[in-house]
Amino acid sequence: MHTRTLISNATIVNEGRSFIGSVLIEDDHIETIAEGYNKISGFAADTVINASGCILLPGVIDEHVHLRDPGLTHKADITTESRAAAAGGITTFLDMPNTLPQTTSLKAFQEKLALMEQKSHVNYGCFFGATQDNLEEMLRLDRRKVCGIKLFMGASTGNMLVDNDLALDAIFEQTSMPQTGDKQKKVHGLPVMVHCEDSEIIARNMTACKEKYGCDPDIRFHSEIRSEEACLSSTRRAIALAKKHHTRLHVAHVSTASELKLFSKDTPYITAEACVPHLLFTNEDYHQLGARIKCNPSIKTIADRTALRKALTDGTISIIGTDHAPHTLQEKSGGAAKAVSGMPMLQFSLVSMLELVDERILSLERVVELMCHAPARLFNIENRGYLREGFKADLVLVRPQSPWTLTPNRIESRCNWSPLEGHTFRWRIEKTFCNGFLIYNKGALTDENFRGLAVTYDR
């Protein structure tokens, strides 16, 4: 039995254009896209959704989340966080490897994908974590099943820190883009996504700060401890390695104006991600939000935020991710040393970025490029991320000028808090379709039993 859903008279934003039109979904894919008003004749549909006044976008692909599952499920799990994703217009997420166990062996990788298949309300993919000594495991990966390698280069996340030149060289060399005539390794050309912060600089800053202010310095010192210098030094090193080996490098959560200068159009295989917290907050927000906005790399100055926002449009930043990293509020108590780093973000990332459109910082077309098209293209995700006939019907319908205030009862994430609580948003997520299925409708998940699919990669 076929199901046909017609979304009519929406403003469709896709591939650099906005136009009034209708989309016919058949089963799991986009059957037809018709441009123009009331172009619905001849479309027999079981369900017709009048979307006039709404904007229709491809479902968001969040390429940077920490869903905490397996092992850290007191903070979050795949069920709760994928609900939050659906409610936020996110139809695909790519999960990071610092779970328990860490996703640093083939076995852990396969087990996590199996867990996602069981639990996720939206589509999913999974990074493999590089360590100092798991190269053999990495070489056994199938590049069509893994979105990329995550490397914590000089960052303290569990014991996944890789900081030794030999190990780094080997990882970048093995994943290098194949030259013609090369015998292809299975991991050749895999994106290597790197968390860049220099741990030696951070340790030195932390010691100095503790000497001055005691064992748990005030939260506002976090941005001085995890400093601009720490980011710049590590990002410079990662870029040098990528150039040396010709590796597809994606620098995660760029947080400073000075790092932006390291990216160039001459090296399109080296790309930069900006994360929502760094686009929304500045170090002045510690006064009000305290450790809630503690994250790594740290939130920097207003000048840094301004530069990051500008880089969204000039092309220096290729992708917006969330770095969704939920913790309990209890874990977030304390200062620069004691409070844990990371904040929940995926449910409210799209509505937050749409506010940057209202503030004329970004165009709607650019939001779609940064949050939908680019993640699909840069991670080679097949048949998703664009509104195209024949592609999977991952869609989100949003309504402008429909204010609502973020209160805890709206939060789907298990941790049940957000640094954006109390904020009144102007945009509303109306409906989210995942593989043609209306998974989220006006404030509620429609079917607890619906599950997303593992995305596949065309490489």
For Zn ion, give the closer residue by CB, 77 or 323: 323
For Zn ion, give the closer residue by CB, 13 or 78: 78
Mark the segment that binds Zn ion (CB under 5 A) among 258-266, 316-324, 422-430, 451-459: 316-324
Mark the segment that binds Zn ion (CB under 5 A) among 223-231, 311-319, 322-330, 371-379: 322-330
Contact between residue 396 and residue 432 where contact means Cβ atoms under 8 Å apart: yes
Q: How far is the CB of 93 from Zn ion (least distance, A)?
A: 12
Residues with Cβ within 8 Å of 8's Cβ and at least 6 positions away in sequence, in order, are 22, 38, 40, 48, 49, 50, 51, 52
For Zn ion, give the closer residue by CB, 349 or 432: 349
Q: Which residues of 156-170 are buried (b: 16+ CB within 10 A; e: fewer)?
A: bbeebbbbeeebbeb
For Zn ion, give the closer residue by CB, 262 or 343: 343
DSSP track, 6-52: EEEEEEEEETTEEEEEEEEEETTEEEEEEESTT--TT---SEEEE-T
Q: How far is the CB of 150 from Zn ion (least distance, A)?
A: 8
DSSP track, 181-195: TPPPPTTTT--EEEE
Spell out the long-range contacts of 225-228 with Cβ–Cβ below 8 A and sequence spacing 24 or more: 225/298, 225/336, 226/197, 226/202, 226/296, 226/297, 226/298, 227/201, 227/202, 227/298, 228/256, 228/258, 228/300, 228/304
Under rule CB under 5 A, residue 323 binds Zn ion: yes
Under rule CB under 5 A, residue 95 binds Zn ion: no
According to DSSP, the β-strands at 17-26 and 29-35 are antiparallel
Binding string, residues 195-224; x marks residues near Zn ion by CB under 5 A: ------------------------------
Mark the segment that binds Zn ion (CB under 5 A) among 84-92, 236-244, 318-326, 449-457: 318-326
Q: How far is the CB of 160 from Zn ion (least distance, A)?
A: 11
For Zn ion, give the closer residue by CB, 197 or 323: 323
Q: In terms of residues, how long is the chain?
A: 459
For Zn ion, give the closer residue by CB, 293 or 395: 293
Q: How far is the CB of 62 from Zn ion (least distance, A)?
A: 11
DSSP track, 289-335: HGGGG--SSPP--HHHHHHHHHHHHHSS--EEE--B----TTTT-S-
For Zn ion, give the closer residue by CB, 319 or 434: 319
Q: How far is the CB of 297 from Zn ion (least distance, A)?
A: 10
Under rule CB under 5 A, residue 63 binds Zn ion: no
Tell me the number of residues near Zn ion by CB under 5 A: 1
Mark the segment that binds Zn ion (CB under 5 A) among 208-216, 227-235, 320-328, 417-425: 320-328
Structure tokens at 150: 């995550």
Mark the segment that binds Zn ion (CB under 5 A) among 73-81, 125-133, 219-227, 315-323: 315-323
Distances in Å between the alpha carbon of 46 and those of 191, 254, 298, 409? 41, 46, 49, 33
Which residue of this chain has its Cβ atom nearest to Zn ion in the complex? 323
Q: How far is the CB of 96 from Zn ion (least distance, A)?
A: 5
For Zn ion, give the closer residue by CB, 275 or 370: 275
CA–CA distance, 68 with 72 (Å, rounded to integer): 5
Q: Contact positions toward Zn ion, by CB under 5 A?
A: 323
